[in-house]
Structure 1
Amino acid sequence: MTDYRAHFDFAISFANGGELSGTGFRLDLPSAEVSEAEIGRLLVQHLGLALVADVELRGLRIVAEPHRGSRGVDVGAAGHADAAASRVVDLSHRIRAGLLTYPGLPAPVITPHLTREDSLATYAPGTEFAMDIITMIGNTGTYLDSPFHRYADGPDLAGLDLATLVGLRAEVFHLADAWTAERRGIRPETLADRDVRGAAVLLHTGWDRHFGTPAYGRGAPFLTGEGAQWLIDAGAVLVGIDAVNIDDTAADAGGERPAHTLLLGAGVHVVEHLTNLGALPPTGARFTAAPPAIEGFGTFPVRAFAELP
């Protein structure tokens, strides 16, 4: 079913004095058959405003466009809930020999330990097995960073609480049209309209479309240090992104990693290189990303997925 959004400028006046205006605003709609007055009320609800006296919309256009997660819109009425009913959505990149995940890091190598042909000498006729060896860095595919990745005294993969990795309430921020090449950093203001306490915050930037290509490592969106601190203070337990890094890896960033430093220092897990986040609704999914319990290891691939009601 098609999603619809309203594009408009607005001016809002308040019963107790004062005005608020905005230009180039976009708002998710439950359908194309919504009146201007109803859009005004959805705008007030989305912004969480009180004592509104009047709402004026200018240049209103209703266009067919994917939803981005506006508050106060009945997403089920727009078809998300029905289309996603009883589904498991895979959010992981596939790992294969030679896969380039992070520019400059080695690709995985997969070799046989026991071929099916060789196994015929060991097992009963018609009973064949294959056993293989994979050599790879932990930062391969879609992976999770534990605090040990950043801090020598932080919990390693074996020290993570499964309750903070399995079946988490997911708050998905669809931000593909919320950043530009000149403003790549995701700031607190972009995240402040949701209750993220106890949730996995998943940042859908659309950058996964470049995965496996040279473009993936250049000019990617990222979470600012201020954004990371806001999520910590707001009670998030995990933050994931569909880009090359949760931090800015550009040369002019000077090698600083404020998002990693803050999030992992606070015990908030980081999942990088997610994919397919556009298939998730803004709220309502359950997110899982559990790595093997490896001692003395800080990062490892996960099979990240979301369960939709």
Structure 2
Amino acid sequence: MTTASPSYRAHFDFTISFANGGGMTGEGFRLDLPGPDIDSDAIGALLVRHLGLALVSAVELQRLRIVEEAHRGSRGVEGSAPSPRVIDLSHTIEAGLVTYPGLPAPTITPHLTREDSRSKYAQGTEFAMDIIRMIGNTGTYLDSPFHRYEDGGDLASLELSSLVGLTAEVFHLHDAWSAERRGIEAVTLADRELRGAAVLLDTGWSEHLGTPEYGRGAPFLTEEGARFLADAGVALVGIDSLNIDDTESGGERPAHSILLAAGIHVVEHLTRLSEVPARGARFTAAPPAVRGFGTFPVRAFATVGDAH
């Protein structure tokens, strides 16, 4: 199995002066780098490009250090080409799995055991046929508009082209939210062109699946964040958290309401998003075409490099 090349970021304070007067400063800034062997002048140029500044006369960096750290999607930095691979972003479904606290866990029972099948087939031939009983909101699943709206499109109505091989824009947000500020705001997502993309929110929360902590204090997308993504024309929004909405604020579900009304697919309970680069991957999450059904598990995955 191939592994991705290491990524590097610069941590620094900065002072920028403009040729037509004025300036700006920043503290504790972090910037993706194309590699570890880069000098301060080149980092200054990358900073100017990332911020989209014009008429800069001087850039001074202070307290500069370069660390091995996953890229977060700085503009103007593509990095080295990743090794070809497919990254599974789905939780494994098994009997007893609790995905969302309060919803029933799946049960798996035999319809035809291997032992019983031996009397039905030729000697040496046997099969197992099993029955799985589960709610659609199990494991990693996709919400269609019908999940929220009676007249919305169901799973059978979804175009495969809107579910397969989407350009993935991954926001690595482990350090962008906290217990006191759980909501992911529009401004956090505003530095990229997102039209037609699968926007994937990597919060790190998936590590709590199967524990009591998973159902409490989870990060979510704010109403303003959902409206921003809808206005940006994204194709899909995914998150590795309990819910795209804040389930602790009452019964309102603004993110679901806004996104699904706009025909934007929602995928919840993703995992391993930290392994997907901020840009350059493709995302697939296709459920079965079930008529009159609004949500169902998917095998979500990202293809990176030449794997797609």
- In structure 1, what is the equivalent of residue 159 of structure 2? 161
After TM superposition, the structure 1 = structure 2 runs for residues 134-173 of structure 1, keeping only pairs within 5 Å, are 134-173=132-171
- Distance in 2 (CA, whole Å) between partners of 1:175 and 1:193 is 14
Partner SS for 2:28: strand
- In structure 2, what is the equivalent of residue 267 of structure 1? 263
**Aligned-pair CA distance for 1:6:** 1.2
8 Å Cα contact 2:242-2:268 kept in structure 1? yes
8 Å Cα contact 2:171-2:201 kept in structure 1? yes
8 Å Cα contact 2:7-2:79 kept in structure 1? no
**Aligned-pair CA distance for 1:34:** 1.4
TM-score, scaled to structure 1: 0.94
TM-score, scaled to structure 2: 0.95
Aligned partner (choices 3, 9, 26) of residue 22 of structure 1: 26
- In structure 2, what is the equivalent of residue 286 of structure 1? 282
Structure 2 unpaired stretches of 5+: none
User: Which whole-Å deviations, capped at 9, do the CAs of 1:161-182 have from their partners, x for residues lacking one?
Assistant: 1111011111111111111111
Partner SS for 1:75: coil
- In structure 2, what is the equivalent of residue 276 of structure 1? 272
- In structure 2, what is the equivalent of residue 241 of structure 1? 239
- In structure 2, what is the equivalent of residue 228 of structure 1? 226
Partner SS for 1:9: strand
- Distance in 2 (CA, whole Å) between partners of 1:113 and 1:241 is 35
- In structure 1, what is the equivalent of residue 67 of structure 2? 63
Aligned partner (choices 183, 186, 191) of residue 185 of structure 1: 183
The answer to which of 163-172 and 7-16 deviates more is 7-16
Letter in 2 for 1:69: G
Partner SS for 1:193: coil
The answer to which of 63-72 and 175-184 deviates more is 63-72
- Distance in 2 (CA, whole Å) between partners of 1:295 and 1:106 is 22
- Distance in 2 (CA, whole Å) between partners of 1:3 and 1:21 is 26
- Distance in 2 (CA, whole Å) between partners of 1:294 and 1:9 is 53
Partner SS for 1:7: strand
8 Å Cα contact 2:35-2:79 kept in structure 1? no
**Aligned-pair CA distance for 1:65:** 2.0
- Distance in 1 (CA, whole Å) between partners of 2:46 and 2:244 is 32
Identity %: 72
- Distance in 2 (CA, whole Å) between partners of 1:189 and 1:146 is 26
Structure 1: 4+ residue segments shifted above 3 A:
none
Structure 1 unpaired stretches of 5+: none
Partner SS for 1:134: strand
Partner SS for 2:244: coil
Aligned partner (choices 87, 90, 97) of residue 89 of structure 1: 87
Partner SS for 2:77: coil
Aligned partner (choices 299, 303, 308) of residue 307 of structure 1: 303
**Aligned-pair CA distance for 1:153:** 0.7
- In structure 1, what is the equivalent of residue 7 of structure 2? 3
Letter in 2 for 1:49: L
